[in-house]
Amino acid sequence: MFTSRLARAAAGKCGGSERSGIIDSGPDEAERLDRPLPDAVRQRVVAAAAEVIGALPLDAVPARLRPFARFERRKRRKLGAASIAAVLEGDAAFRERVAAGLRDAQPELVAAVAAGERPPAADPVQVAALAYLLRPRSWTEAVEAARSELTASASASQEEAAAREIGQLKRDLADARADHAADTDRLRADLRALKAENAELRRKLHEARTRARTERERADALAAEAAEELSAARDSTAAAGKELRRMRTRTERAEAAAEAARRAAREGRNVDDVRLRVLLDALVDAAQGLRRELALPSMIERPADAVRGVDPGPPTPRSLPGRALADDDPQLLDRLLALPRVHLVVDGYNVTKTGYGGLPLADQRARLVTGLGGLAAQTRAEVTCVFDGAELDAPVALSAPRGVRVKFSPPGVTADELIGELVRAEPPGRAVVVVSTDREVADAARRAGARPAPSRLLLRRLG
């Protein structure tokens, strides 16, 4: 009901309030407070304004307060207090709307405050709030009077609380004195009992000391005998332990040496076997390719060899494939991939950043590895793609296609160093191609016996 009265007052009567003359904001509008409003007065003013905001149409609410108009009343007063206070201070029309809403609820008090009067029986906080909204002549005096009354009331409350606290402290002091007297009497009685008990304990202690002295003398004699026996046992144990440690050390060293020898022999044999097998496969494939290229006869005759005919002449030097191609020759990579048992080593990020460096690193890796999978399926070459592990924030789960080996350099090792290790691990004589535009990588590959190729040729081949 109060909200409906505020709405009617704000919508209908506010406009007429300027004509009625109750709110006079003429010459006293320039009056300003030297200090901020008291908290109680400010809360009362903000509460009245929050009621009016909820009752007004949205287009009649100031633009700064419209976000709070849809809030619940208490939430509106809590969250929009600062904005409401600022608008009330600077927007006279909004103050008049709030005052118009209070006029129906308290008409006599509003009329008295508008006339510059302060009813003695009225709440000083309510009078100060109405004076702040209506702004009659000397309205600041009403606010300061409310401030003085609130300060005096607070002082009186503090004095009353201090008097109550002093009385309570006096009663507590009397109780403490009574308790102290009772405790003193009880402690005196306990002291007399303790003295008697102490005398009895002293007598028992003297008897115990006498018995303990006798037992100590006996124990000293037994301890001397036991010390002699223990010293002899320790000497024999120390000698045995020393000999045992010496034998154990020799045994551990022998076992470690034997295990190291076995491991070295096993690892050397495995590495040598793998390198020899790869080299033999490369030599066999190279021999077969050379036989096919030179059209050399095979020692095994086939049925078609028995049929007479005119065979073509031996190939001329011009019909043989080129022995040396430039690095920028488009046919270089195809010729190299046609070599038997060729091992293609790719500098991953060097290729991706040359071709599609604008993509994220994960997309660069996926695109390159997918393309290398198709290349491995077409040429049947051994493909190893190396990425720099320093570019990663965490381990990467990358599914490599069949025929492609993906390696990330470990911490403290660059991708260039890992490529060098891969090239040096191959047996001499095997065809190894290193794809990178890095001059240092290319020079290191060439010194290790591998054939470097620029990244753009691989990108063109994958495209």
The least confident of 39-53, 281-295, 422-436 is 281-295
- Residue 25 is predicted with a pLDDT of 41
Q: Looking at residue 20, what is its pLDDT?
A: 36
pLDDT, tens digit, for every residue of 138-159?
777 777 777 777 777 777 777 7
Determine, yes or no, domain membership for 88: yes
Distance CA 148, CA 393 (A): 66
Average pLDDT, the chain: 78
Please state the rounded mean pLDDT for residues 298-303. Answer: 46
Nearest 5°: the CA angle 333, 337, 343 is 115
Pairing label, strands 382-387, 343-347: parallel
Q: Which amino acid is at 236?
A: S
Of 182 and 107, which is predicted with more confidence? Answer: 182
Out of 91, 114, 137, a domain closes at 137
Whether pLDDT at 43 is above 90: no
Q: Contact 351/459 with Cβ under 8 angstroms?
A: yes
Q: What is the pLDDT of residue 292?
A: 62
- Report pLDDT digits (tens) over 408-459: 998 888 999 999 999 999 988 889 999 999 999 999 999 998 999 999 999 9
Residue 336 included in any domain:
yes
Domain span holding position 128: 2-137
| pLDDT at residue 14 tops 70 | no
Tell which wins on pLDDT, 160 or 22: 160
pLDDT score of 268? 65
Quick check: 345 and 434 in contact, CB under 8 A? Answer: yes
What is the distance between the alpha carbons of residues 223 and 317, in angstroms, rounded to a whole number?
106
Of 13, 175, 163, give the one whose Cα is nearest residue 99.
13
pLDDT of residue 181: 92
Number of domains in the chain: 2
Percent of the residues in the chain that have a pLDDT greater than 90, as a whole number: 31
Q: Which residue has the tokens 């700064």?
A: 64
**Mean pLDDT, residues 375-392 taken together:** 87
Contact 68, 76 (CB under 8 A): yes
pLDDT: is 84 or 196 the higher one? 196
Last residue of a domain, one of 137, 168, 183: 137
Is it the case that residue 357 has pLDDT exceeding 80?
yes
Q: Looking at the domain assignment, is residue 201 inside a domain? A: no
Residue 35: inside a domain, yes or no?
Answer: yes
Given a contact cutoff of 8 angstroms between Cβ atoms, the answer to whether 448 and 427 are in contact is no
At residue 7, the pLDDT reads: 40
Residue with tokens 């009895």: 200
Is 0.85 topped by the overall pTM?
no
Note the pLDDT of residue 209: 93
Least confident of 6-10, 208-212, 394-398: 6-10
Residue 302 binned pLDDT confidence (cut-offs 50, 70, 90): very low
pLDDT attached to residue 8:
44
430: domain CATH number is: 3.40.50
pLDDT at 317: 31
pLDDT score of 313: 36
Of 64-73, 163-172, 174-183, 411-420, the one with minimum mean pLDDT is: 64-73
For residue 199, is it within any domain? Answer: no
* Any domain includes 331: yes
Inside any domain, residue 10: yes
202 within a domain of the structure (yes/no):
no
Domain finish residue from 137, 159, 188: 137
Mind listing the pLDDT tens digit for each residue in 185-244? 999 999 999 999 999 999 999 999 999 999 999 999 999 999 999 999 999 899 998 889
pLDDT for residue 13: 38
pLDDT recorded at residue 29: 46
pLDDT attached to residue 89? 77
Read off the pLDDT of residues 116-130 as tens digits, 9 standing for 90 and up: 667 766 777 777 777
- The predicted pLDDT at position 121 comes to 65
For residue 384, which of 355, 353, 426, 412 has the smallest C-alpha distance? 426
pLDDT of res. 96: 77
Confidence class for position 170, pLDDT limits 50, 70, 90: confident
